[in-house]
């Protein structure tokens, strides 16, 4: 046992256990619930909600680090500089959780990060010129021991001391107090929102009320099930047809026709062509003339103002593809009723 772990209080040392293989431990990350809660008592910490790609990193027995998406995809070729920085760590054995972002003028820029997403050739990834930063916020294993049963504060303290931080690796800062005022400040700074976490909570492999998403604006992932024909000078397609899973069916949520650059239209049109199919994947009737259907395998990040009474998106805007999300896990996100 390392000095860091040996220095934990006896009660916390008893919560440690032999870690399974890091790849297995990283396969089921903890996920946050959307929440409209704005008043918090003691026992919570607040982190910036980063607009990037979730990634878990594993290094074992001093070998080369590996980087995985939350759906299990190998991200080593997409972000080779992060793998190098993790492999160069003095700490030889760890599993960590965090978010990969592209920063632009101090803000996370998901559209900029899109230029790196999907690339698997390290040379092509570097050639984009898009610098990425890996914000680490949790520690799942250290020196062969599983740390997920430790309180969040203890895991954060171990993470801070176990790894060396400097570009492109950063430790995610947090505040010990928060609520509506802190969220208002975050929104004024152009952040996506906050993540509220129970300071004594464990790391569990599922979506949990111990982690809450507090968003500045509405937005979530949707499955792409089809597209419409372009009109006028538009190339590629007109709008994407979107849906979410509910009770084993893909429910139609409307279409999104804004937010695309010419380059995105070309790239996405090619992807859609590869997924073409002859029938609608939606359980609901889609009343769009000359609609084209695709296998529901792509996930889009979409911002919108609200849901209409008939369950459609109002004023949606395309933000980018989510290569790190399993389309089968996409559901309609609503704060739980209290």
Enzyme catalytic residues:
49
**Residue 72 β-bridge partners:** none
- DSSP secondary structure string, 171-230? EPPEES--SHHHHHHHHHTT--EEEEEETT----SSEEEEEEEEESS-EEEEEEEEE---
Q: State how far Cα 269 lies from the chain centre.
A: 24
Closest CA to 49 of 114, 109, 99: 99
Residue that the structure tokens 């380059």 belong to: 263
Helix H segments across the chain?
A: 3-6, 10-13, 22-25, 80-87, 110-113, 122-127, 152-162, 180-188, 262-274
Please report which helix (H) or strand (E) contains residue 100, including its range.
strand 94-101
Closest CA to 285 of 323, 247, 250: 250
């Amino acid at each position: 046992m390392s000095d860091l772990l040996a220095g934990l209080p006896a009660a916390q040392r008893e919560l440690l256990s032999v870690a399974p293989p890091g790849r297995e431990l990283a396969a089921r990350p903890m996920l946050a619930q959307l929440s409209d809660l704005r008043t918090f008592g003691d026992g919570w910490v607040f982190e910036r909600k980063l607009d990037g790609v979730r990634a878990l990193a594993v290094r074992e027995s001093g070998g080369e680090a590996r980087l995985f998406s939350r759906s299990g995809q190998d991200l080593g070729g997409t972000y080779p500089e992060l793998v190098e920085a993790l492999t160069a760590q003095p700490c030889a054995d760890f599993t960590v959780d965090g978010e990969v972002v592209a920063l632009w003028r101090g803000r996370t820029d998901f559209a900029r990060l899109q230029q790196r997403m999907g690339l698997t050739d390290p040379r092509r990834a570097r050639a984009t010129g898009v610098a990425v930063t890996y914000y680490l916020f949790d520690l799942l294993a250290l020196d062969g021991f599983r740390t997920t049963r430790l309180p969040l504060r203890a895991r954060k303290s171990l993470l801070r001391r176990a790894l060396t931080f400097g570009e492109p690796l950063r430790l995610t800062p947090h505040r010990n107090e928060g609520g509506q005022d802190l969220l208002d400040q975050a929104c004024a700074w152009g952040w996506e929102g906050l993540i509220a976490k129970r300071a004594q909570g464990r790391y569990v492999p599922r979506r949990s009320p111990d982690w809450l998403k507090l968003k500045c604006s509405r937005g979530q992932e949707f499955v792409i099930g089809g597209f419409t024909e372009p009109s006028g000078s538009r190339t590629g397609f007109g709008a994407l047809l979107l849906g979410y899973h509910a009770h084993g069916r893909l429910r139609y949520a409307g279409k999104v026709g804004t937010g695309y650059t010419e380059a995105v239209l070309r790239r996405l049109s090619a992807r859609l062509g590869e997924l073409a199919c002859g029938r609608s994947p939606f359980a609901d009737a889609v009343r769009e003339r000359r609609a084209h259907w695709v296998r529901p395998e792509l996930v889009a990040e979409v911002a919108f103002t609200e849901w209409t009474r008939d369950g459609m998106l109002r004023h949606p805007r395309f933000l980018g593809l989510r290569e790190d999300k399993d389309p089968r896990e996409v559901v309609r996100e609503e704060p739980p009723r209290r």
